[in-house]
């Protein structure tokens, strides 16, 4: 089902007209309402009237996460607090979190964006949707909640954690849609098996997974274990929370709500726009947001845009799965590699479980990389020869595919840390330099 056919199937020409009109409005709005934007425009001698066509967006200075932190908590809001009806914040692992505020209209827009991606994944009003994202300042829980309700699904606001209880709800309420991070979906399948229940015997049909990336290989693994279709969606606190984009059942990339969020891809170093089809950092502009509008927000997420037609009939531009964040790209002896690429290689081996951790270490002046991977069946650990051979094979495959030399350490099943939210795959131990 297409939630908003008029918008999601709009011709390119009409979409661009709509985007331009909305961009011009939001630029005037930001300039008038947010001193931060006025100062940025004035510094480069730019006036709202200078935005005459879509490509003039390149004249607008970027906004970064640091800008939001500097304006903590509310200085980038464009409306008085009495018009803000809800606030959220990103996790803020380093320093102050980023705080965002929604007006009543913003909550409507957010719900619409999430309803579209849920419908695209095949969810209908007949479904029972269990939200295993945290409710609280994190945008994941409430975002999916509002969108699924707008679609008319029955929402179970289970929130994150308490896996046995999650499984009890899934069994007793006949949950058909699971909302979580992909790593949690995998973890939950393990717990389900440990409890002696076959995950495939439950009523689950669709996974709406987001908040972190997962490789195609991991997707297949999740689909196999649960017997479901695993769909991915994407978003971030600064733009709206979840709802920026999501996969349809054809899985040709995530359809972007382009009438709400204008996407660009830039080269992170030169900061210049790249043409459609080239890989780079995604920059997003909110076209209708009232509470805290974002002009050219640098997401740091690396992706590729695709405007080829999709069989589902939606005409919106799609984005490839995120390759990684520009700041989590690893540089190992001069070779650039994203953790997601390592995951893809690991997932090709069937004797290992889809749980791994990447340790970055320094050895003298050299950075080295060690990958801990769980074996699927602990018996292999008793056979030194077999273990050594498997480690060698994985190391060889990583070297062939990614041109990096990694030390592989196979570990007992279920010994690496599991999380209920976003997984932490990379542990950087390099600050303890040993020279
Ligand atoms: P934080 O920066 O604190 O993690 P958010 O919770 O807003 O804040 O997370 C947004 C980020 O999560 C995105 O910028 C992106 O890096 C990541 N993310 C969200 N969805 C996906 C996805 N489907 N694939 C890869 N990364 C994702
Ligand atoms: Zn599609």
- pLDDT value at position 271? 97
Question: Does 236 sit in the ligand 1 pocket, CB within 6 Å?
Answer: yes
pTM, two decimals, is: 0.91
Q: No. of H helices and E strands in the chain?
A: 11, 21
Distance (Å, whole) CA 350 – CA 194:
20
Judged by its nearest atom, the ligand closest to the C-alpha of residue 232 is 1
**Domains in the chain, start-ordered, CATH in brackets?**
1-326 (3.40.50.12780), 330-434 (3.30.300.30)
Q: Does 73 sit behind a cis peptide bond, omega within 30 degrees of 0 on the bond before it?
A: yes
In this prediction, residues 357-361 reach a mean pLDDT of 92
- Please report which ligand is nearest the Cα atom of 303: 1
Q: What is the pLDDT of residue 433?
A: 41
CA of 6 to the centre of ligand 2 (A): 15
Backbone angles phi, psi at 245, to 5 degrees: -160, 165
Ligand 1 within 6 A of CB of 247:
no
pLDDT of res. 325? 86
DSSP assignments along 166-183, one per residue = HHHHHHHTT--EEEE-HH
pLDDT of residue 431: 65
pLDDT in tens, 132-164: 999 999 999 999 999 999 999 999 999 998 999
Q: Ligand 1: which of 99, 110, 212, 282 to mutate, most ligand atoms within 8 Å of CB?
A: 212
For ligand 1, atom 25: residue with the closest CA: 213
Question: Using an 8 Å Cβ cutoff, are 131 and 144 in contact?
Answer: yes
If you search the block for the tokens 């970064």, which residue do you land on?
64
Question: Across all residues in the chain, what is the average pLDDT?
Answer: 94
Whole-number pLDDT of residue 333: 75
**Of 329 and 142, the one with more pLDDT:** 142
């Amino acid at each position: 089902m297409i939630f908003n056919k008029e918008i999601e199937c709009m011709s390119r020409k009409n979409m661009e007209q709509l985007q331009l009109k909305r961009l011009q409005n939001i630029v005037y709005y930001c300039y008038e309402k947010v001193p931060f934007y006025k100062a940025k425009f004035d510094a480069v001698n730019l006036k709202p009237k200078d935005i005459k066509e879509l490509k003039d967006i390149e004249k607008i200075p970027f906004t970064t996460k640091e800008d939001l932190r500097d304006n903590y908590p509310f200085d980038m809001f464009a409306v008085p607090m009495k018009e803000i009806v809800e606030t959220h914040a990103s996790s803020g692992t380093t320093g102050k979190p980023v705080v965002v505020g929604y007006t009543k209209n913003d909550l409507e827009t957010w719900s619409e964006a999430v309803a579209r991606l849920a419908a695209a994944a095949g969810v209908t009003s007949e479904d029972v949707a269990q939200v295993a994202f945290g409710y609280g300042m994190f945008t994941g829980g409430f975002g999916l909640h509002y969108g699924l309700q707008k679609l008319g699904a029955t929402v179970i606001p289970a929130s994150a954690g308490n896996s046995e209880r999650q499984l009890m709800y899934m069994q007793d309420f006949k949950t058909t849609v699971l909302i979580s991070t992909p790593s949690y979906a995998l973890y939950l399948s393990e717990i389900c098996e440990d409890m002696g229940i076959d995950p495939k015997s439950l009523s689950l049909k669709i996974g709406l997974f987001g908040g972190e990336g997962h490789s195609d290989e991991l997707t297949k693994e999740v689909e196999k274990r649960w017997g479901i279709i695993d769909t991915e969606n994407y978003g971030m606190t600064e733009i709206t929370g979840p709802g920026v984009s999501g996969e349809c059942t054809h899985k040709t990339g995530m359809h972007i709500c382009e009438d709400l969020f204008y996407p660009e891809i830039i080269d992170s170093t030169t900061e210049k726009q790249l043409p459609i089809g080239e890989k780079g950092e995604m920059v997003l502009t909110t076209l209708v947001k009232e509470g805290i509008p974002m002009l050219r927000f640098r997401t740091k997420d690396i992706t590729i845009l695709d405007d080829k037609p999709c069989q589902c009939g939606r005409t919106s531009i799609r984005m490839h799965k995120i390759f990684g964040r520009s700041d989590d790209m690893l540089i190992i002896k001069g070779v650039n590699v994203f953790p997601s690429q390592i995951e893809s290689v690991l997932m090709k081996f069937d004797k290992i479980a889809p749980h791994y951790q990447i340790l970055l270490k320094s050895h003298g002046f050299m950075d080295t990389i060690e990958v801990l991977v769980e074996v699927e069946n602990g018996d292999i650990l008793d056979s030194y020869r077999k273990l050594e051979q498997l480690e060698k094979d994985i190391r060889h495959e990583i070297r062939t595919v990614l041109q990096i030399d990694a030390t592989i350490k196979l570990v007992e099943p279920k010994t690496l840390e599991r999380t209920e939210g976003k997984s932490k795959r990379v542990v950087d131990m390099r600050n303890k330099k040993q020279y």
